[in-house]
Structure 1
Amino acid sequence: MNRSRSQAMTAFLPGAVFRHEQRLRGRVQAVDGDVVKKLNEDVIYDEISRYLERWSEDARAALPVPQGRLRQNFVLVSPDLVRFEVFPLVLECVRRSCRRVRTYAKAQQLAADPRCRTCSAPLRQLPYFNAHNCGRIRPMYVPKCRVPAHGYDHIVFENTGSFVTALWRCVGPGCGGAKLQGTSQSPCGCEWKDAAGRAMMRARTFNDTRAYQVHALQLVNIDNSEFRQYQRHPQRGRIAAAHYLNLIDSTAQGLGDAAQTVTVPRLSPQEWQQKEQQLRQINMGEEAIEQIRRMMGPEESGLAALPSTDADNARWELLGADRPFVERAAVFDPAQIQRITLDDQCARFAELQDRLAQQTTERAREQARTLGIAEIAVTWEFPVARVAFGYTREEHEPERGVLTGFHNKYHHDGKYPVYVAASDTEALLVTFSARSVLSFLDAKGLTAGVAEDESAARRRLLELFTDQDDPEAARAAATVHTVIHTLGHLLLRSLDDGQVGLAENTLAEWVVTKALTVAIYADNVREFTLGSLWTLLSNRVLSWLESTADSVLSCENDPLCHQSSPRCCERCVYLTFGCQLFNDDLDRGLAAEFLRHTAASSHT
């Protein structure tokens, strides 16, 4: 069957089970499609390798690390044609008075004889299966009656609504519905054991998402030589930090600065202050002091403006290992991707002398400040790629389950497929104020003091995010992540009001916590955009931000949600498909604290 790329990437990759529109259930065997060429393959395979190294070799099935020569055994595929088999082949009679279960070995047997042996009524699939951490799934185990004449002919499934209490019974003559066994667990027979040394499969329904989770990465896919050079550069973390701190305008400038050979060591601001005092004590003239400052004093821009102590160099290296933080510099580089900000719109309305639109936009900017937002922008060319390379069942963390690849020796010339959905789509780019975030942390006692300006606040937060040895810094960084991630969800959900033509399940997030940035993009994997987010920036920013502020305070599941910890649920914060962290690390209560503090600070 054919499925769109977005459908295939979310629900129809190999190993997934699904319900077909023709009232049958199946298991995906393989997914075919065109080989994708115009992608930054080096970045994709490097990131997959870094991800897979979290699993030991024994915890990966049909999925080697794509490094060195092994990389040629992988192929990037745009999913299109889904090949599946009927699953499970355990069916029951539709007649309530019968309900006898029948198991088939092959789908051809079912097609040849699709009726109940006892009453000749039609059969329907039992929508249940067994799954194990090793990656296997099997039809539910159907026990055999101990009466030789009964065998499997009179077995019925007593569905109580819970696998803990559901039973298999025999309704054959003389058995009278005798209990055979339960359904919650059955042995797998593999070598992958749990903490108790057992290998037990668990019964699951077809709608249970715990039995299958795709492992995928979201990448910014800028396919040009400058971006590739930047991502491979050993000083990419330093360049990204300099761009975030507004010390450089573009990644090209950063690459140029990194290529320069510094012949004269520069003094730090503190060292220059002492040097300047010494020069004044010997009555040196101002012009001469300024000349020395230009030669030896601290740089005010460029990479040289960043300190180069051992501790600082370690910090830039850590930032260079954070792919989203590195990508963010390219996304916010006007030479790479064009964006229009809310401030640009306000200036445009002023130039057009559209006073009503200008006043509305200015009110939107004020509302953004009360939400702790420093910049709102829109781009039509957000180059996002989602790459999927494997799946897990039951347990999804490294070493707790087996990460299984999509390899099928009969497809893709025997290579290991990595499924890709890439497009240049429209996106909202929201960056929060570092001063507001730092002030909030100070109010909670997680930091000491606030910053004089935005640049100083950003520097301080980068120090918190990269200080791995300080537990207090780790707490502060975790708090920031929860606040930014939660507000990103609320901003996304507030777009689903029927006004911009985008539903919540068609949107996705891209979060760069260290840069306090959230991108909300149209997850349509098409090569054109609707302009809906541009319409939002032009006409509806104020109502959108007001709706977001209101959504922090209440939930349809209150008071239950309000009393939960953390405060979040499917009615207020969770996203259907678009969360790259699977709705983890969210707290509407913490976000409400941040907004109350920011609103109070903006009026003082």
Structure 2
Amino acid sequence: MKQKRSLSQVVFRFLPEQTVDLAGAVWRVDKWVSPRTLQVDVDVVRSELLRAIYRYTATGRDGGLGDRLRRQDPIHVITPNDEDGTGVSVVPFPENYRCARCGRIETGNGRTCQCGSNSWRQLQFVAYHQCGKLDTPWIPRCNEHKQVRVDYPGTTRTEDLHFECPICRTEVARGFRFLRCDCRNGTLSYNVHRAAVVYTPHSTVIVNPPSQNIAIKFKSEAAVRQTLGWLLNGMVEEDPLAGRPTVDSLVADLVAKNIPEETARKMAELAASEEPNTISADDPLKGVDLGPTERQQAEEAALRLAYATAGGRWRITDLAAGAPPEAQVRYQRLYPTAVARARLEAVELLDDFPVLNAVYGYTRGGDSADSVLRPFPSGGGAIRVHGQLAHTEGLLFRLDPMQVGRWLHARGLLPTVPATPTDVRLAVLRESQIPRPGEELDSPTFGSGVTILVHSYAHRVLRRISALCGIDRDSLSEYLIPLHLAFIVYASTRGDFVLGGLQALFEHDLDKALNDIVEGEHRCPLDPGCAKHGGACVACLHVGEPSCRFFNGFLDRDVLFGSTGYFVV
């Protein structure tokens, strides 16, 4: 039997150990057959996975994935092979079948029922446990006749199932038995196979270098230093390594050509000494005082932003440069005014945003704290991640650092307002410990405050621009870079995705969108209850969980519109 499904359907709905409905029957996905290995930046993937699984690692329920990531086990990111006809291997599951005529239950459908019928249908119920176990439910039989039947009650409540003998009509059981799991940590649960508690995939979004050449270009320590300096100075140049050549940019270029970094630095320093007017010997991070941990986090976040913009970035000034006279008013007056009103440093169009949707495992039992994360099995000791690499469009929003400084001071997080944008950025880098998705904090911190600001702004944008760009809200997603006061709203490749919708918004209606974000209705229909209990709910700030990697946490309307809100101070 062969069935065809789209690449996105396979990546999100046909994962190993997941049950699926196909051709009128239920199947369990065994594996992806001959998948393709994606070319990704493994270091970036490793770092993002460690962040994504934190809530399981912290409780010792990550299935050993955290230890494997930290000891540098190889990572293979695979995607379905849609070129040679191979795809997904499935096996029939569960193995309980019910006769459509008399209701008898057998563990196979290859024989004629005692009532004479050959019409068998699978029971939709499965047995599962939070340890990851999945099994066919055991159903007892009549002691005398060794048979059993069941009538469907019309609900999915397993306790409503009435099992009886088809011969003597003796009741055999009501519902399924409470059997101890093999892990000896509780009893099995039962539900219909497609219920979310039976299988919950866990994924993260990773910005991947658009090409191997780009990845190589940013691999050297010099390139990373140059990139962080570029961000601290406001991303003025088109590219982190563009502009007047520096020693670090030359080192990065030479390392990308397979020259050892130590040799490359000697060559670059010699060139700078011989051509001081052409090559700058200035340190891009001169005066930047960050501790080792803060420096590493800042550099990793800077690389993510560099990868995001490597495919090309369009600024408002780029639109104005090639616009007809009738559009000049929009780009030179209306747009800059709206950007300033929205307390933004810039809004830019990313027309080739390289995003990897990476699924790294699953849980059974829903999102319960007792559920164990199960990484996908793989051979050879490698960590296997299932994913889809897409190139889509996105809008980069960069918050005005001086307004962030005023907001931090008004909220009591900074004693004074820093003097320059660079000083604000450095203060955020020094003081912020960005919480991880799913992390619960005992008390607010500087880092959680910055995260709530950036995250709440991103959700406000997601909820307000969907109508203007013609893209369903659930087809828009966020990518947060709170350490550098930025976020990206991009069109995901699932759902009703309209290519060019964000570009059209950027070119024609950006001022309307930004004005609506600031001035549009911000009260919640569920106030005052919502305002008293977190200031964020499904009616005002929440979005669909596939669009939000923080599970709709770290949100609050008050940080935007309160008495000391970002749009107010």
Place the TM-score, normalised by the shorter chain, in its bin: 0.7 to 0.9
Alignment correspondent of 2:33: 32
2:311 equivalent among 334, 337, 352: 337
Structure 1 counterpart of 2:565, one-letter code: H
Q: Deviations over 1:99-152 (max 9, x none)?
A: x36242xxxx32555x7x55949554443323223222123343x25x413544
- Between the aligned partners of 2:104 and 2:183, the Cα distance in structure 1 is 27
Determine if contact 2:97/2:122 at 8 Å carries over to the other structure: yes
1:26-425 matches, cutoff 5 A: 26-32=27-33, 34-36=35-37, 38-41=39-42, 43-44=44-45, 60=63, 65=68, 71=74, 74=76, 76-80=78-82, 81-92=87-98, 100=103, 102-104=105-107, 109-110=108-109, 113=112, 120=117, 124-142=121-139, 144-145=140-141, 147-156=142-151, 158=153, 162=157, 166-170=160-164, 178=171, 180-183=173-176, 186-190=179-183, 198-210=185-197, 211-225=199-213, 227-228=215-216, 230-231=218-219, 233=221, 236=224, 238-246=225-233, 249=237, 250-252=239-241, 253=246, 254-256=248-250, 302-308=283-289, 312-320=291-299, 323-332=300-309, 336-346=310-320, 349=323, 352-354=324-326, 358-359=329-330, 362-394=333-365, 401-407=372-378, 417-425=384-392
Determine if contact 2:223/2:251 at 8 Å carries over to the other structure: no
Query: If the length of structure 2 is used for normalisation, what is the TM-score?
Result: 0.75
Determine if contact 2:65/2:375 at 8 Å carries over to the other structure: yes
- Between the aligned partners of 1:478 and 1:184, the Cα distance in structure 2 is 46
Structure 2 counterpart of 1:135, one-letter code: G
128-137 or 542-551: bigger deviation: 542-551
Structure 2 counterpart of 1:86, one-letter code: P
Determine if contact 2:470/2:498 at 8 Å carries over to the other structure: no
- Between the aligned partners of 1:186 and 1:495, the Cα distance in structure 2 is 51
Determine if contact 2:53/2:62 at 8 Å carries over to the other structure: no
- Between the aligned partners of 1:184 and 1:235, the Cα distance in structure 2 is 61
Question: Aligned pair count?
Answer: 525
CA drift at 1:485 = 1.9
| Residues 232 and 387 of structure 1: CA distance in aligned 2, closer, same or farther (over 3 Å) | farther
CA drift at 1:246 = 1.0
| Residues 414 and 257 of structure 1: CA distance in aligned 2, closer, same or farther (over 3 Å) | closer
1:464-503 matches, cutoff 5 A: 464-466=431-433, 475-497=445-467, 500-503=469-472
1:519 equivalent among 454, 473, 488: 488
- Between the aligned partners of 2:409 and 2:192, the Cα distance in structure 1 is 47
| Residues 120 and 217 of structure 1: CA distance in aligned 2, closer, same or farther (over 3 Å) | same
- Between the aligned partners of 2:146 and 2:105, the Cα distance in structure 1 is 11
Alignment correspondent of 1:287: none
Q: Secondary structure of the residue that 1:305 maps to in structure 2? A: coil
- Between the aligned partners of 1:576 and 1:51, the Cα distance in structure 2 is 14
Determine if contact 2:536/2:556 at 8 Å carries over to the other structure: yes
- Between the aligned partners of 2:194 and 2:305, the Cα distance in structure 1 is 36
Structure 2 counterpart of 1:222, one-letter code: P
Determine if contact 1:168/1:180 at 8 Å carries over to the other structure: yes
CA drift at 1:30 = 1.4
CA drift at 1:23 = 3.8
- Between the aligned partners of 2:223 and 2:119, the Cα distance in structure 1 is 67
Q: Secondary structure of the residue that 2:109 maps to in structure 1? A: helix
CA drift at 1:159 = 6.0
Q: Deviations over 1:528-557 (max 9, x none)?
A: 993322211111223333454577725677
Determine if contact 2:207/2:308 at 8 Å carries over to the other structure: no
Determine if contact 1:426/1:533 at 8 Å carries over to the other structure: yes
- Between the aligned partners of 1:467 and 1:69, the Cα distance in structure 2 is 24
1:5 matched to 2:7: yes
Determine if contact 2:319/2:331 at 8 Å carries over to the other structure: no
| Residues 592 and 206 of structure 1: CA distance in aligned 2, closer, same or farther (over 3 Å) | farther
Q: Which has the larger radius of gyration?
A: 1
Alignment correspondent of 1:264: none
2:478 equivalent among 502, 509, 521: 509
Alignment correspondent of 1:278: none
- Between the aligned partners of 1:353 and 1:540, the Cα distance in structure 2 is 17
1:537-548 matches, cutoff 5 A: 537-548=506-517
| Residues 189 and 15 of structure 1: CA distance in aligned 2, closer, same or farther (over 3 Å) | same
> Which structure has the highest helix share of the two?
1
- Between the aligned partners of 2:534 and 2:193, the Cα distance in structure 1 is 29
CA drift at 1:215 = 3.9
Determine if contact 2:204/2:359 at 8 Å carries over to the other structure: yes
- Between the aligned partners of 1:69 and 1:442, the Cα distance in structure 2 is 41
Structure 1 counterpart of 2:553, one-letter code: D
Determine if contact 1:486/1:573 at 8 Å carries over to the other structure: no
Alignment correspondent of 1:553: 522
CA drift at 1:395 = 6.3
Gap regions ≥5 residues in structure 2: 253-263, 267-275, 436-440
Determine if contact 1:496/1:504 at 8 Å carries over to the other structure: yes
**How many percent identity over aligned positions?**
17
- Between the aligned partners of 1:27 and 1:501, the Cα distance in structure 2 is 37
Q: Secondary structure of the residue that 1:28 maps to in structure 2? A: strand
Q: Secondary structure of the residue that 1:600 maps to in structure 2? A: coil
Q: Secondary structure of the residue that 2:349 maps to in structure 1? A: strand
- Between the aligned partners of 1:184 and 1:570, the Cα distance in structure 2 is 41
Structure 2 counterpart of 1:189, one-letter code: D
Q: Deviations over 1:294-336 (max 9, x none)?
A: 9xxxx9974242335xx5455313423xx3442213434xxx3
Structure 2 counterpart of 1:496, one-letter code: S
| Residues 162 and 490 of structure 1: CA distance in aligned 2, closer, same or farther (over 3 Å) | farther
CA drift at 1:378 = 0.6
Q: Secondary structure of the residue that 2:359 maps to in structure 1? A: strand
| Residues 58 and 548 of structure 1: CA distance in aligned 2, closer, same or farther (over 3 Å) | closer
Structure 1 counterpart of 2:182, one-letter code: G
Q: Deviations over 1:57-113 (max 9, x none)?
A: 995389994799963x94634454222223333355667xx6x36242xxxx32555
| Residues 70 and 560 of structure 1: CA distance in aligned 2, closer, same or farther (over 3 Å) | closer
- Between the aligned partners of 2:427 and 2:443, the Cα distance in structure 1 is 11
Gap regions ≥5 residues in structure 1: 192-197, 262-293
CA drift at 1:226 = 5.6
Determine if contact 1:19/1:25 at 8 Å carries over to the other structure: yes
Determine if contact 2:125/2:192 at 8 Å carries over to the other structure: yes
- Between the aligned partners of 2:66 and 2:295, the Cα distance in structure 1 is 32
Q: Deviations over 1:344-376 (max 9, x none)?
A: 435655xx3226x62487444434434332211
| Residues 485 and 57 of structure 1: CA distance in aligned 2, closer, same or farther (over 3 Å) | closer
